[in-house]
Structure 1
């Protein structure tokens, strides 16, 4: 046996020190022996002396350009992650042996590891040209193609690898990744499940499956896969991150927090982990801790747009609009084409009661991402808040083109077209909306359903789903007994409308008139301070006035609970700027729906609805989630101090003709319907020289109504449009009208009270829902029940008859003038005593441990008596 053979035998036997000694002995006598230099280099490498190995490889190659030396040298550089050196070595090998498959593959891997997939690709393909049976090479080619964004080609490469070896879990896993990126989720899931089947102990496969299931909206399955991944590899931060995402989607808040915390412990410098922990803390109701984690994420990665957006949204939800705006504006200064940031900025501005600015910002969002429905949805909402109905309607149409089954956009489109009196295709849209409501569609605002030809069942259905959504994720507050009680019942009124607003005008006198010896009254304002005289009157006239506008819903609920409120009365319902989630937190033991919303709130967290015998008829209680409380006269209060300007404008100043009968309807335009307008056109045709005086808040309303009039053969000159004026002046101009014509299915409410207070008779139709019966209740309480028509034909006949019977109309005016000081409609002290009797009855039921039940306040027995299902309660 030669000396070289003995050295090689020792090397092969693993006797490395002996082999090293023998190779050195050879080199002492043959210093230029390339084979000995090569093998000694391999021994030094195995002994952990890579520097010495590199020198020996280089010496060997300087003597003889041997392919095997190049391949071992390249492999040694790759093992040390010296990818640049490996690239140089493998390239040199190919100059020696251009057909070397090993050199081609080694060079491909080295280039790929350097982040040069475009350079690696041709070398992978050269290997496969002669060795297409190598599944590993197909897999690596697939990874390179994914890196290059050529995902469909990557999927084909991985699929070929899986075909060559159907048990190759790596191939199935990588195929799943590619298919997921292509949006072929069902195929991707099948591939991932193949991978987990062939390699059930590989955490990577379970991690991939978790991410897929989470993205597919299957949180329970994602949670199970994520738990398996962390069980197999608890040291992998990305597994905990995936589990946290799945737990977050499954609303497993504590588990999401624990997973995110584990990811932070393993990867404290990972900004994504910090962001996820912040998300979990936010969901756990720990907003200050969440803010700190978002800021920590941004300290680690200042250009982390997702964390910036999340931070801004949290600050906005905490009523820190300025902080949120600052974060988003800084983001947009860096990324002016970030459509999501523009959209979020618009949302913050809208939440801050700055809808005009929100509209301008959201126009940028939809210009950048015209195919994203959320931007158009937000634009529609902000434009509606700003009173720009045409812009809102256009945005809704865009949403529906992108997402045809978007029920919320459909409801808003119907409402905005009503506000514009744009009745083209409205019947079909309304029918579709009601069909969606009856099919259980989520997201339809109940208010949008009120003006449609909806039933009480429709209205309850929409309200119940809306109320449930508002309660989702809300944590009930813990109520504690107040430290000191003075024997009075504590009533809290929650409203966004303690200001110059229709509801404000209705309720101010009643709230001022409460018996302070028996009731402690607090107004909780969630709306803007418009610095109006009416706002100041509320602040002066109510015992306690608390501004909650900058409180979060949770903080507002805690504040109300801390005040020891016994009965919380919501005066806003589902109208603009409502804060229903405050009610969902149950800050008071008894909660009441009254005045602001003419229908059920559909919520199990609201106990009673205040009504009267007209607006909710006996036998209809099942259509209301609340227990019905019937006041004896009318559920609506009025203000005895409502000022009417002394000076009456001239007909010319109001655009009215010098002569002729003046019909008027000052209802909001959304209450007008094509059927109603048909009837009004017939009335005008039957009363020569008459005009119809309407309120048009937007120029488009007048234009659309004139067009509709012409279509019905009506001279547009017989339609007169009233401009906005201060409230006292608005009441004064009622003196120029002869008869107020009401609407259906949504009656005049405050506008009817205004007309009657100003001495103008109101002719109404009684509908089948709360919103369509209010005017009838007002007329009965005013002593004018004969002005309630029974059907459309009777309504039109009554209008024509009154226009032709000045004596009859004069008698109605005179009776209204006599009744005004004494009738129940305008007797606020009487109304308030009845309301207080209702509150006492509610509280007595609660105090004695009973469940809420219907209550009727009897006028015959006096306001201190309430009739219930189980008898009398003082």
Structure 2
């Protein structure tokens, strides 16, 4: 987002002399070259003309700051005037020169204590230094002297916004626009206050009004584009942001936001170009590095993506989004759960420490009765047409409402028919997209939620700082992916015996949470695609085997391509279908495949598709190839449901054992291997046995439907038993703590 606040220019002192008056008048009319020429003649005639030197210095501030300082310094030698001191302070830039500016302004106030401009500018400097209390006191003194001065109100409100004092900032900025209704930047910053408070709808309305005042304001256009890019009006966002960079080709944030929008529109090459341009203009702009990392991830270059996120963190160590993206991406590239846990714990230490300390030992009013009806809260940005709904649907549809009250907290502005369906399964539904973390935490407390379920962890839309506030007595992670949050605020994680073998003592050490294993599987699936049927084995008519992998390209690691290379070496007639965006991403993937001995002529690509079209792509595929170290999850279930077997290579992390879990629950454990050589043998043997493949294709959907993987009622009972176990443990702890406090 964009804002603007600067120190105010001091008025020139009233002086006599027609030539100086003419120069001053030209300056006020914006005729800077005329004013500059007049000042040069005045100084040439009298090198000690303090007023002309001062005005000449002001005229140079935007062009040559050091020259400006020299001119105003000469004016001060001739006469120590408070106005000159204010002008001198304006030539000081950055933290290194802040003390010099503060000294000049303090001296100006000694000479003229009632100067609202000096007070305003000094307040601005203290605000930049992070001294909000002293800055506020100075702004208040300035406004007491000049209560109708809109610019002082604006600078004060902008300082409060930067200090995250949102309520006070809103009050001051509303006063600004009351005094100056056409002050577009004030409306812009008022919208920023609303955005910081998650009041997106209000913010957009304010910005649209501001746009009528300043249709070519790049700041306003950039901010409108940023808001629109987070919703469904993505084409409008692109149009607005393209206009912003047309008006100001050096506007870094506009280029970064445009790159993000183009990425969402699957225009990946254009997105990379826009993001590269943003980084060229501002190499330390964290958001651009994050967006470029996202582009690399979607193009299958996960190592580059990780490097981008690390660069973003180096630019802005406090950027929680960069850190979350890094953590999530590492799981695609690293088969080491202990290393991932260490990174997750560092995340918590960086971003959650203060909130965790404040919420340590938090008291909850929930009655510690182990047998009562429990209130379960689910928090997610993805209660919509999203892959997560393939798993929330069977659980929410089968909850026992006599024993559990189900409350959903929807974080996203996107709503569709899936949203309506999920809402019908809940006892309570809260649209909390415009709640900040503190307000949402209070809402959850007020609702008396007993067990709060985090469905996102470190994925897009995560609200880690919500859970760090510990709004519920029991907090558990499930669904996003089988891993760890790294946060002490999450006490439990759901898992299963396949992705986390209970007989290995080192397994549970990969997680900061306590692991509670469901009896069958981490997932329960509903395809949500009625009418999409399977087909006969394609190889029977094609005359060759067609492999496919429709996983996110971020999972196409070099370990994966190396694993596949043995398969294609053994089966020289086999073909491969991959999902990847058009353009450079496909070219680079083809080159990487070729480096692993897989000829580009054997590979065809499909783009990202609507769900029904994507599922029908499996009509072309005989066998789905799994990825490593992050196996397919949703994609593998989709393939199996369409009758396409998915042999797997499993490893040490939970993500690398997803395929094993799915196959074991289908009675196909023999299709899982724990090393590359066995994987190649399993896949090639299956590919050469067309009768077996044909039988599997014909029976897999029925096998799926009869398995725990699609038994919503069974899964719900298992999850509810897990919730009851967690709750009983909390009740025992609560009763023990209460007893310990008795005299």
> TM-score range with shorter-chain normalisation?
0.7 to 0.9
In 1: Cα distance, 2:214 partner to 2:349 partner: 37
Worse-superposed segment, 780-789 or 320-329:
320-329
Worse-superposed segment, 471-480 or 347-356:
471-480
Q: Deviations over 1:762-785 (max 9, x none)?
A: 122224444333223333333333
Confirm or deny that 1:801 pairs with 2:706. Answer: no
- 1:783 aligns with 667
- 1:146 aligns with 57
Question: SS where residue 92 of structure 2 aligns?
Answer: helix
How do 1:759-778 and structure 2 match up within 5 A?
Answer: 759-778=643-662
Worse-superposed segment, 518-527 or 365-374:
365-374
Shift of 1:349: 1.1
Q: Deviations over 1:636-664 (max 9, x none)?
A: 2323x755636445788xx9962222322
- 2:9 aligns with none
State which of 833, 846, 849 in structure 1 corresponds to 2:717. 833
State which of 495, 501, 505 in structure 1 corresponds to 2:390. 505
How do 1:378-457 and structure 2 match up within 5 A?
Answer: 378-406=257-285, 409-421=288-300, 430=306, 441-443=317-319, 444=322, 445-446=325-326, 447-453=328-334, 455-456=336-337
Question: SS where residue 745 of structure 1 aligns?
Answer: coil
Shift of 1:801: 2.3
Q: Deviations over 1:239-274 (max 9, x none)?
A: 664565566557676766665545433321122333
In 2: Cα distance, 1:114 partner to 1:737 partner: 76
How do 1:35-50 and structure 2 match up within 5 A?
Answer: none
Shift of 1:504: 0.2
In 1: Cα distance, 2:471 partner to 2:158 partner: 26
Residues 42 and 52, structure 2, Cα contact 8 Å, conserved in 1: no
CA gap 1:429/1:291 in 2 versus in 1, 3 angstroms: closer
- 2:475 aligns with 591
Q: Considering only aligned residues, what root-mean-square deviation do their CA atoms show, in Å? A: 4.6
CA gap 1:850/1:263 in 2 versus in 1, 3 angstroms: farther
Shift of 1:794: 3.0
- 1:180 aligns with 92
Question: SS where residue 511 of structure 1 aligns?
Answer: helix
Question: SS where residue 371 of structure 1 aligns?
Answer: coil
Confirm or deny that 1:87 pairs with 2:17. Answer: yes
State which of 439, 444, 454 in structure 2 corresponds to 1:560. 444
- 1:524 aligns with 409
Question: SS where residue 180 of structure 1 aligns?
Answer: coil
Residues 418 and 672, structure 1, Cα contact 8 Å, conserved in 2: no
How do 1:269-308 and structure 2 match up within 5 A?
Answer: 269-276=148-155, 278-279=157-158, 290-308=169-187
In 1: Cα distance, 2:174 partner to 2:354 partner: 24
Worse-superposed segment, 787-796 or 744-753:
787-796
State which of 509, 513, 517 in structure 2 corresponds to 1:630. 517
Question: SS where residue 501 of structure 1 aligns?
Answer: coil
In 1: Cα distance, 2:686 partner to 2:283 partner: 48
Question: SS where residue 756 of structure 1 aligns?
Answer: helix
Question: SS where residue 228 of structure 2 aligns?
Answer: helix
- 1:119 aligns with 38
Residues 54 and 87, structure 2, Cα contact 8 Å, conserved in 1: no
- 1:872 aligns with none
Residues 534 and 642, structure 2, Cα contact 8 Å, conserved in 1: no
Residues 537 and 697, structure 2, Cα contact 8 Å, conserved in 1: no
- 2:375 aligns with 490
Question: SS where residue 762 of structure 1 aligns?
Answer: coil
Give unpaired runs (5+ residues) of structure 1.
Answer: 1-80, 89-106, 129-136, 197-201, 208-228, 853-874
CA gap 1:357/1:576 in 2 versus in 1, 3 angstroms: farther
Confirm or deny that 1:669 pairs with 2:553. Answer: yes
Shift of 1:489: 1.0
Shift of 1:279: 4.9
Q: Deviations over 1:595-618 (max 9, x none)?
A: 124543344443333233454564
How do 1:1-16 and structure 2 match up within 5 A?
Answer: none
In 2: Cα distance, 1:595 partner to 1:579 partner: 15
Give the paired residue count.
702
In 1: Cα distance, 2:165 partner to 2:100 partner: 40
How do 1:600-639 and structure 2 match up within 5 A?
Answer: 600-615=484-499, 618-619=505-506, 621=508, 623-639=510-526
- 1:155 aligns with 69
Question: SS where residue 388 of structure 2 aligns?
Answer: helix
Q: Deviations over 1:769-814 (max 9, x none)?
A: 4433322333333333332222333322322222123466568679
Shift of 1:553: 4.5
CA gap 1:262/1:771 in 2 versus in 1, 3 angstroms: farther
In 2: Cα distance, 1:127 partner to 1:283 partner: 45
Shift of 1:346: 0.8
In 1: Cα distance, 2:339 partner to 2:277 partner: 26
Question: SS where residue 554 of structure 2 aligns?
Answer: helix
Q: Which has the higher contact order (CA 8 A, sep 6+)?
A: 2
Worse-superposed segment, 238-247 or 378-387:
238-247
In 1: Cα distance, 2:688 partner to 2:641 partner: 24
- 1:203 aligns with 106
In 2: Cα distance, 1:259 partner to 1:158 partner: 25
- 1:792 aligns with 676
- 1:30 aligns with none
In 2: Cα distance, 1:354 partner to 1:625 partner: 39
Question: SS where residue 578 of structure 2 aligns?
Answer: strand
How do 1:542-553 and structure 2 match up within 5 A?
Answer: 542-553=426-437
- TM-score normalised per structure 2: 0.79
In 2: Cα distance, 1:778 partner to 1:581 partner: 33
CA gap 1:109/1:625 in 2 versus in 1, 3 angstroms: farther
Question: SS where residue 647 of structure 2 aligns?
Answer: strand
CA gap 1:240/1:838 in 2 versus in 1, 3 angstroms: farther
In 2: Cα distance, 1:455 partner to 1:241 partner: 55
Q: Deviations over 1:325-346 (max 9, x none)?
A: 3433444444444322221111
In 1: Cα distance, 2:400 partner to 2:273 partner: 50
How do 1:368-387 and structure 2 match up within 5 A?
Answer: 368-387=247-266
In 2: Cα distance, 1:823 partner to 1:726 partner: 27
Q: Deviations over 1:740-766 (max 9, x none)?
A: 211123220111122234443212222
In 1: Cα distance, 2:391 partner to 2:469 partner: 27
